[in-house]
């Protein structure tokens, strides 16, 4: 492979990728509201000569380049979080900005830049004749990841009946290659009390006081969770609290909390639920410990319910997909750092649920995700485009 030619071709598309990304940033596209992003990506894929472009019943946009036997997929979720407190932004999050080196705006790093780089990576494959009868490339612009990571791929695997040889996750990787992540789950803990008039609290059972005992034990649980040498320690923290009471002059008769539970390698949703259920105060107060479910309609109106469980996954260092990614990067940009994500990605379903190998490489930085004044770097778009273009041929050589 002529890697200099690949790098030059990717560099030649910098202006086009910048314009494409700025167009996407200018279109609001939070979870279940991605239609504008889908239509813009569909248009770009068709203009660049993808062999097949379609939108599935859930609303994922899917483009195919080539006709070879092996299916190699590149995934980029195309929904974004909201902008949060507008006062924290120094520029308009949708108008964004552009300098000689940077592009700013909501979704610049997380993760509209990923879909931009891979759409043009597929174009470079076609331009340079890198496609062969050995493989075809699927580029997916997937929906609802910010709300429910991996739900889109549950649909793609189970309903679209798509199962690639492996998948490249194009979430931001700080210029590194990532081969795993902790999983997560969303837990609800609820206790029931008995209300009474606030002037005589001894007549009732205050559910908030019960929960206060439980919360201290959850804090302690976090300190003793399992540690994995590669992914690090599992964690648990309280993310929300709810109550019920007849009035502000009454003892609370109900209290519930949401827990964000990060699962390291070796932990399961069953073990995580049982750890909470076994806490002394949960036993004492007969706390109900359950897992949340997600059932929100997509922008096309399709509801695909699932448990809020997002499994851990790790791809071995010696896996052919890891090695092909490392070789592709090394040939053009030097020795890469191979590491893992801190946050969660669609890999929780692709590899976590279905065992389809995943490898991560994407433009932007993790620290930009969900933050005000989000930005990415033009050099990252070009670098990722080049590596994406080389990867399938390196894998199939």
Catalytic residue among 79, 146, 186, 275: 79
Report whether the peptide linkage leading into residue 111 is cis, meaning its omega lies within 30 degrees of zero: yes
User: What is the DSSP code (8-state) at residue 263?
Assistant: E
Q: Is 75 a catalytic residue?
A: no
Catalytic residue among 75, 110, 127, 145: 145
Question: What are the DSSP calls for 328-394, one per residue?
Answer: HHHHHH-PPPEEEESS--THHHHTTTT---EEE--SS-GGGTT-TT-EEEHHHHHHHHHHHHHHHHH
* Angle CA 93–378–153, to nearest 5: 70
Residue 387 — φ and ψ, nearest 5°? Answer: -65, -40
Q: Is 223 a catalytic residue?
A: no
Rounded-to-integer distance, Cα 107 and Cα 112, Å: 5
Rounded-to-integer distance, Cα 227 and Cα 262, Å: 11
Provide CB contacts within 8 A for 161, sequence distance 6+: none
Picking from 85, 7, 76, 84, the residue whose alpha carbon sits closest to that of residue 45 is: 76
CB 382 within 8 A of CB 17: yes
Any idea which residues carry the catalytic annotation?
79, 145
């Amino acid at each position: 492979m002529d890697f200099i030619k690949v790098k030059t071709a990717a560099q030649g598309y910098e202006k086009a990728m910048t314009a494409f990304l700025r167009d996407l940033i200018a279109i609001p596209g939070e979870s279940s509201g991605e239609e504008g992003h889908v239509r813009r990506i569909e248009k770009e894929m068709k203009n660049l000569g993808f062999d097949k472009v379609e939108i599935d019943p859930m609303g994922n946009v899917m483009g195919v380049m080539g006709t070879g036997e092996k299916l190699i997929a590149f995934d980029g979720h195309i929904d974004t979080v909201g902008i949060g407190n507008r006062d924290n932004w120094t520029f308009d999050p949708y108008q964004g900005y552009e300098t000689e080196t940077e592009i700013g705006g909501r979704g610049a790093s997380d993760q509209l830049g990923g879909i931009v780089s891979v759409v043009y990576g597929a174009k470079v494959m076609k331009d340079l004749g890198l496609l062969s009868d050995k493989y075809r490339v699927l580029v997916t612009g997937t929906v609802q990841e910010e709300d429910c990571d991996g739900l889109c791929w549950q649909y793609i695997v189970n309903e679209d009946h798509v199962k690639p040889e492996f998948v490249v996750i194009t979430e931001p990787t700080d210029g590194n290659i990532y081969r795993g992540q902790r999983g997560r789950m969303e837990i609800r803990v609820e206790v029931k009390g008995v209300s009474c008039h606030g002037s005589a609290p001894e007549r009732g059972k205050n559910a908030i006081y019960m929960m206060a005992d439980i919360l201290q034990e959850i804090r302690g649980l976090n300190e003793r969770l399992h540690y994995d040498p590669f992914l690090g320690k599992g964690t648990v923290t309280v993310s929300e609290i709810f109550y019920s009471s007849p009035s502000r002059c009454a003892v609370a008769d109900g209290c519930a909390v949401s827990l964000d539970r990060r699962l390291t390698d070796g932990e399961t949703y069953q073990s995580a639920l049982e750890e909470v259920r076994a806490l002394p105060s949960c036993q004492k107060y007969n706390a109900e410990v359950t897992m949340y479910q997600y059932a929100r309609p997509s922008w096309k109106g399709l509801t695909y319910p699932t448990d809020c469980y997002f499994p851990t996954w790790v791809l071995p260092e010696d896996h052919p997909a890891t090695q092909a990614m490392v070789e592709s990067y090394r040939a053009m940009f030097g020795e890469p750092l191979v590491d893992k994500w801190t946050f969660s990605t669609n890999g929780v379903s692709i590899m976590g649920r279905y065992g389809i190998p995943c490898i991560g490489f994407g433009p932007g930085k993790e620290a930009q995700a969900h933050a005000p004044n989000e930005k990415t770097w033009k050099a990252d778009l070009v670098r990722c485009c080049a590596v994406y273009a080389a990867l399938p041929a390196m894998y199939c050589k």
